[in-house]
Structures are given as structure tokens and as C-alpha cells.
Amino acid sequence: MQLWKLFITALMPVLKLLLLTAVGAFLALHRFNILRKSARKHLNVIVYFVFTPALAFSILTKTITFRSLIMVWFMPLNVLLTYIIGAALGWLFLKITKEPSDMQGLVLGCCAAGNVGNLLLIIVPAVCKESGSPFGAVDVCNKKGMAYASLSLAIGNIYLWTFAYNIIRIYSGKIFNVNKVDDSTVGPVSAIETDLESHSTVPVVTAEDISENNDRTTHFGSYIAWGKS
């Protein structure tokens, strides 16, 4: 019975998350056309740059002090190690799978960032507020859990824009330089070859062909004149 209760407690946050995902997917379907492409784009920008930082820092101002920030000195180091290990595993993955050059930066950046995101801001309150939660009182669990989740999210965003973003930018710069070299060397040659091929399809008329056509015209005219006579 206790195992079933723990299973329900762990299942409810996931079901709530899946329900939110289903509602978002329903609103974004082209069949219903409730949220169009421009609306989704602006909504994503607002959520990422306004709502999520506001939520995270509003929680941090209520829970994090200078003394408590010193006590959690290990969190920036842990998140940095997560990015480094993720980047190393992503680099190993690229060597094994031989990803295309235009996808290497994106794959490496995603592997470095890992699961550092805002999902904990949804899961932690759902877990803490469930009856039979193994994390103690609801208020204490929610306060401390949201503080840790918000701090990890804030630190993760710093590393995301300084570490993962620069990885993607460096790989994108390499691809841009390669494409620029290919366009400057291959482009004119291929244009000349195409021009030569188009001219090679035009039939060449020689003096022998002209002479032969004149002889045929003369014979045909003589045949017509003989027929009339």
C-alpha cells in the first residue's frame, strides 16, 4: 500500500506536465490554428526572457540570502561540471556518429546544456504538494526545493549563454567560412562548365553540309521543272 502511494505521488507531477504539454500542442496545431507561427514565436520569447527569469528571481529574493549563498557555493561548480562533462560526452558522440558539419555545434551545445532547464519549477511544487510526499512538510519542501531549482536555473542560464552559445557560434563560424570558400572557388568554374555544356549542344554547320544542301535543292528544282515539261 505504501509503495502504491509513493507511485501515485511520483506519477501526478508527470501527468500534470504531460497535460500542459498536450494543451500546448493542441493550441499549436495547424488544424485548429489557435496559436499561429508568429504568436508562438512571440510567446516563446516572452516566456524565456520575461516570465521565467521573473519567476526564478522572485523566488530567490524570498529564500536566498548572502549567508545561504555562501553555504551553496558548490552549486555553480556542480553546474559547471555538468556542462563540461556534457560537452565531453557530446564531442565523443560526434566522433562516433560522424554528424554533418552543420549539426555538430547544435548537438554539442545541447549535450553540454543537458537537462538544466525550467522543468524543475513545475515538478518541485507538484511533488511537494502531493499528499504523502517523502520530503517533509509542504511549506519547507516547496520553499527549499524552489530555491534550489531557481538557483540552478539562474546559474544554468549564465553558463548557457557563455559556454554552450559560444560552442554553437564557433562551429557556425567554421561552417560559414567553409561555405564562403566553396562559393568563391567552385561557383565560377561550375558556371563556365554549364555555359560550355549548353553551347556544346548546339549543332555545328560545316561547309560540306551547306554544299550538300545546295546540291539537293538543285536536283529537287530540276525534278520539278522536268515534271512540268
Using alpha carbons, list the distances in angstroms from residue 88 to 21, 91, 142, 162, 163: 31, 5, 34, 17, 13
| pLDDT confidence bin for 74, thresholds 50/70/90 | confident
- Mean pLDDT for the stretch of residues 36-44: 87
What is the distance, to the nearest Å, from the Cα of residue 141 to the centroid of all Cα atoms in its chain?
34
Q: Tell me: the pLDDT tens digits for 116-152?
A: 777 777 778 777 877 666 667 878 887 888 888 888 8
The predicted structure's pLDDT at residue 58: 84
* Other Cβ atoms closer than 10 A to 164: 25
Distant-in-sequence, close-in-space partners of 70: CB < 8 Å, separation ≥ 6: none
Domain boundary assignment for the chain: 1-35, 63-176
SS (H, E, C) 149-171: HHHHHHHHHHHHHHHHHHHHHHH
Question: For residue 77, which amino acid is it?
Answer: L
Grid cell listed for 32: 485548429
- Mean pLDDT for the stretch of residues 37-43: 87
| pLDDT confidence bin for 85, thresholds 50/70/90 | very high
- Asked whether residue 182 carries a pLDDT value surpassing 60, the answer given is no
Q: φ, ψ for residue 151 (rounded to 5)?
A: -65, -40
| pLDDT confidence bin for 89, thresholds 50/70/90 | very high
DSSP state letters, 21-39: HHHHHHHH-TTTTSS-HHH
Question: Which residue has cell 560537452?
Answer: 87
Question: Which residue has cell 508562438?
Answer: 40
